[in-house]
Structure 1
Amino acid sequence: MESLNQTLDHLLAQQAGNESYQQLMTEVFADPEVQAFLQAHQSELSAQSIQRGRAKLYEYVHERNLANQGRVSVAPGYVPKLVVSAGQIDVAYVPTDQLKAQRAKAARLARVTPISMPKFIRQASFDAFFREGPNATPSRNQALERALMFVKQYSPNRFVPGLYLSGSFGVGKTYLLGAIANQLADQGVQTTLVHFPSFAVKMKSLIGKNTTDQERDRIKQVPVLMLDDIGADALSAWVRDEVLGVILEYRMQEELPTFFTSNFTMAQLVDHLAIDNQGNQEPLKAMRIMERIRFLSREIVVEGDNLRQKLGNS
């Protein structure tokens, strides 16, 4: 069997009459990466397969150089790679590290579905939550510790209760939900965050289109659900019983983690839910809702100064 150098010399000699081509191919065959590829695969490649693969070798060197120079190549975002396929030289295109990172980021973002939520949810993180310094409080640290514990313990195969974060405006309740969702996204878990007062308005608007059941069922089935600002507005009996009640009943039966934020404590929320927006009092229905909330989550009262101006969140 001819040595690799003898094979290359033979191939170049065949094009002796074409100086520009010979010069071009001399440069290609002298390329260190081409040399290393041919050396590594010399047992698989015959002189004929190398001759037939000259165009592929040129393509590889040309496209690699374009990519290295930051110029537009035939496959932006990809880099060429020499391979042997069925005994022939070929070029495969693999994504760059930058493209892989972009895809990973897009996949992570896709795992967090915010519905009528503030933009800062996308950037929320545990590291940015006040755990020390003048804005840290024992209850904020407790909420953070419980959030971290949930993320660590979460498994789709066993029920882990969510959190019910109650407290005044601007203490970081919604921000912490976003941090939990983003951390879960890094672990491949899908989360849906819903500003419940806005969702209630949307559901009412869908009544005439007969699509309320589909929208409600879509929300109730997500792996991890976060309902923000429960109790911000008085609910109609229909929203309370046929929307919120049905969602919570399903999630309790299926043991799906559910989070809540509210300006009301659980004890206060039961009184709020007992009176609908028409002034009708139905304490038993409110107690039924609260039974499900208590099953699905564990309450933490978050206290501290209003951080809305500092974080731009609630």
Structure 2
Amino acid sequence: MESIRKQLDSMMNSNKMTEKYEEIIRNEVFKDPDVRKFLAENSKILDKEAIERSAAKLYEFVVEKKKAAVQSGELMPGYVPKLLINNKRIDVTYEPSTDLTNRQKQAAINQRIHSMYMPKDIKNFSIDQFESTPGRNEAVERAYDFIDQYLENPDEFQQGLYLYGKFGVGKTFLLGAIAHELSEQGHPSTLVHFPSFAVEMKNSIGQNTTEEKLTIFKKAKILMIDDIGADSMSSWIRDDILGVILQYRMQEQLPTFFSSNFDMAHLEDEHFRVTQRGENEPLKAKRIMERIKFLSKEVEMTGDNRRHS
């Protein structure tokens, strides 16, 4: 380290540098701990001439490092400078900052979660943040079981969950947390609020996009249907939309989740059996429920309404 210091002192006496530039280089650049460490680590490669010729690069490194620290005025916002040897000269490269890397990682996670008509923050809710209470313990444990088994063998069929319980116990956000966990491991999910989806499908008739929209949900790698049973549905939505989606997913053994305020028995008897027109169709209701039972395990969630807490 002492020999390097002597080289630097000798270089500073060169007439090639103006007094002001010499002062900056001496006091700001060569006293910078990262610069000194870099020069020490590369003392066998860099001679006096190489260091002298690279003074401007060292100055750039120090200045941009300071700007990056306060995130203001950087040459490349979101990136931090790094010194390297390039053809026996000192050069500066730029690497993504930790903050940028984290933001890019979160953006990639969010892109793998396809959310339709769902709460805005549903994509950001990690399962580690999900508070496990006595009334939600079983659901959380089943969620972890699914995640572990799916990640171990994503090509093997795994039943999803049918989460039911009163308003505000966390059914929707548990679905989002499962999707977030899977997305972190590179697996995409599609979450959809079913009552809003039903309206969208009705509107798609006039736009001639029904089949296109139907295909998206039929073939989603992991599908999460939220709030099923919240509104009464027509026989067309029940049989030609939901029924078609579930039949395809059952045949292809694609993981499917549901959330509802009704348990399975009540969903079948009070929601699917009687249509908006008052038609009593128990066999069609049973056919839909058999598909749901094949695709998911029924789990109750209880607790306080957290929407008002």
TM-score of the superposed pair, with normalisation by structure 2: 0.84
Structure 1 residue 22, shift from structure 2 partner: 2.4
Question: Is the partner of 1:154 in helix, strand or coil?
Answer: helix
- Write the letter of the residue equivalent to 1:12: M
User: In the TM superposition, what whole-angstrom CA distance separates every residue of 1:81-108 from its partner, at most 9, and x where no partner exists?
Assistant: 1011233321111222222233333333
Q: What residue is the counterpart of 1:12 in the other structure?
A: 12
User: In the TM superposition, what whole-angstrom CA distance separates every residue of 1:142-177 from its partner, at most 9, and x where no partner exists?
Assistant: 222212222232232322211112233344322332
1:87-126 matches, within 5 Å, as 87-119=88-120, 121=122, 122-123=124-125, 125=127
User: In the TM superposition, what whole-angstrom CA distance separates every residue of 1:283-304 from its partner, at most 9, and x where no partner exists?
Assistant: 4433332222111101123345
Structure 1 65/38 Cα, relative in aligned 2: closer, same or farther at 3 Å? same
Structure 1 23/198 Cα, relative in aligned 2: closer, same or farther at 3 Å? same
Task: State which drifts further: 220-229 or 284-293.
Answer: 284-293
Is the CA contact (8 Å cut-off) linking 1:120 and 1:175 kept in structure 2? Answer: no
| Distance across 1 between alignment mates of 2:9 and 2:306 | 74
Task: State which drifts further: 115-124 or 36-45.
Answer: 115-124
Is the CA contact (8 Å cut-off) linking 2:125 and 2:173 kept in structure 1? Answer: no
1:76 and 2:77 equivalent?
yes
Q: Could you tell me the percent identity over the aligned residues?
A: 49
Aligned residues: 302
1:23-34 matches, within 5 Å, as 23-27=23-27, 28-34=29-35
Is the CA contact (8 Å cut-off) linking 1:115 and 1:193 kept in structure 2? Answer: yes
Is the CA contact (8 Å cut-off) linking 1:114 and 1:193 kept in structure 2? Answer: yes
Task: State which drifts further: 150-159 or 38-47.
Answer: 38-47
- Write the letter of the residue equivalent to 2:158: V
RMSD over aligned CA atoms reads 2.8
Runs of 4+ off more than 6 Å: none
1:176-255 matches, within 5 Å, as 176-255=174-253
Is the CA contact (8 Å cut-off) linking 1:171 and 1:303 kept in structure 2? Answer: yes
Task: State which drifts further: 140-149 or 178-187.
Answer: 178-187
Q: What residue is the counterpart of 1:57 in the other structure?
A: 58
Q: What residue is the counterpart of 1:290 in the other structure?
A: 289
| Distance across 1 between alignment mates of 2:166 and 2:26 | 74
Is the CA contact (8 Å cut-off) linking 1:15 and 1:21 kept in structure 2? Answer: no
Structure 1 residue 16, shift from structure 2 partner: 5.1
- Write the letter of the residue equivalent to 2:163: L
**Runs of at least 5 residues in structure 1 that lack an aligned partner in the other structure:** none
Structure 1 residue 119, shift from structure 2 partner: 4.2
1:273-284 matches, within 5 Å, as 273-284=272-283
1:152 and 2:148 equivalent?
yes
